[in-house]
């Protein structure tokens, strides 16, 4: 579990780190704690490594606005938990829009910090038990894509295109490379398509109708294997 703290008040930062170390050690959770007084450096770290699970972000940091930084973090890392450190409730509605986990009012009480931390850790552990992901790097940036959010992958000119519930991402990997790193939710139904079976709505002949409204093809030479795998998948769901 990687936890990042960003607050421009060094004295408060030191106290918060001590509290977090105490609480995390008490619950016997393996963790890595990092801190920044500069929000731009914190954002740069998250952009590069994309592995931060929990972010504690001060809202008012001199000329910097923690809410604006949090908005950027949310786009980079949709699954991380953001906890605002604040002396004001002015951003309560805006925080809802970027799915802030909670607000902790300064000075932070140990009991409130422990409760907030316990809640987000349980949520994260639930996500990790049910989600795997891939990291996709292209000319537009680095993207963390969870398996249960990938609808299908298709060939696109010389590249491939990953369709997800939050948008489409160009990939420079081949379909064979995708197959090797995906789990058994996915099936190659055509030389040009890999589909997440959770998103299949209907199937007729050689056409697959997806929940997203997309239609993809099942090739003749893959049809038998596809039907067998899909039937087995649905059978497991009915058990």
Q: Is the pTM value of this prediction over 0.85?
A: no
Residue 151, pLDDT > 50, answer yes
Residue 3, pLDDT > 80, answer yes
Distances (CA, A) of 113 to 4, 87, 90, 148, 159: 14, 15, 20, 31, 46
DSSP 76-132: H-TTSEEEEEES--TTHHHHHHTT--EEEESSPPHHHHHHHHHHHHHHHHHHHHH--
In whole angstroms, give the CA distance from residue 59 to residue 74.
15
What is the share, in percent, of the chain residues with pLDDT greater than 70? 92
In whole angstroms, give the CA distance from residue 131 to residue 157.
30
CB 127 within 8 Å of CB 54: no
pLDDT of residue 127: 66
Tokens of 185: 């939710």
Strand, helix or coil for residue 28: coil
17 Cβ contact partners less than 8 Å away, ≥ 6 residues apart: 5, 33, 35
pLDDT tens readout for residues 182-234 = 988 899 999 999 999 988 989 998 999 998 899 999 999 999 999 999 888 87
pLDDT tens readout for residues 60-108 = 888 888 889 998 998 887 778 999 998 766 665 566 667 788 889 899 9
* Residue 101: count of CB within 10 angstroms of its CB: 19
**3-state DSSP percent of the chain in helix, strand and coil, to 5:** 40, 35, 25
Strand, helix or coil for residue 174: coil
């Amino acid at each position: 579990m990687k936890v990042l703290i960003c607050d421009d008040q060094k004295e408060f930062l030191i106290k918060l780190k001590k509290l977090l170390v105490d609480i995390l050690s008490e619950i016997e959770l393996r963790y890595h704690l990092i801190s920044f007084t500069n929000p731009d450096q914190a954002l740069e770290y998250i952009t590069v490594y994309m592995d931060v699970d929990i972010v504690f972000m001060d809202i008012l940091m001199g000329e910097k606005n923690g809410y604006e930084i949090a908005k950027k973090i949310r786009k980079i890392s949709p699954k991380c938990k953001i906890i605002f450190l604040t002396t004001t409730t002015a951003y309560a509605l805006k925080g809802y829009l970027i799915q802030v986990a909670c607000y902790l009012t300064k000075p932070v009480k140990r009991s409130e910090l422990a409760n907030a931390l316990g809640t987000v850790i349980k949520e994260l552990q639930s996500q990790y038990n049910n989600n795997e992901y891939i990291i996709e790097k292209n000319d537009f940036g680095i993207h963390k894509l969870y398996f249960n959010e990938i609808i299908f992958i298709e060939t696109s000119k010389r590249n491939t295109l990953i369709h997800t519930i939050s948008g489409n991402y160009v990939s420079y990997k081949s379909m064979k490379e995708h197959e090797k790193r995906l789990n058994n939710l996915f099936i190659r139904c055509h030389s040009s398509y890999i589909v997440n079976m959770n998103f299949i709505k209907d199937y007729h002949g050689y056409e697959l109708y997806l929940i997203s409204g997309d239609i993809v093809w099942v090739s003749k030479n893959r049809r038998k294997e596809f039907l067998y795998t899909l039937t087995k998948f649905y059978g497991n769901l009915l058990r």
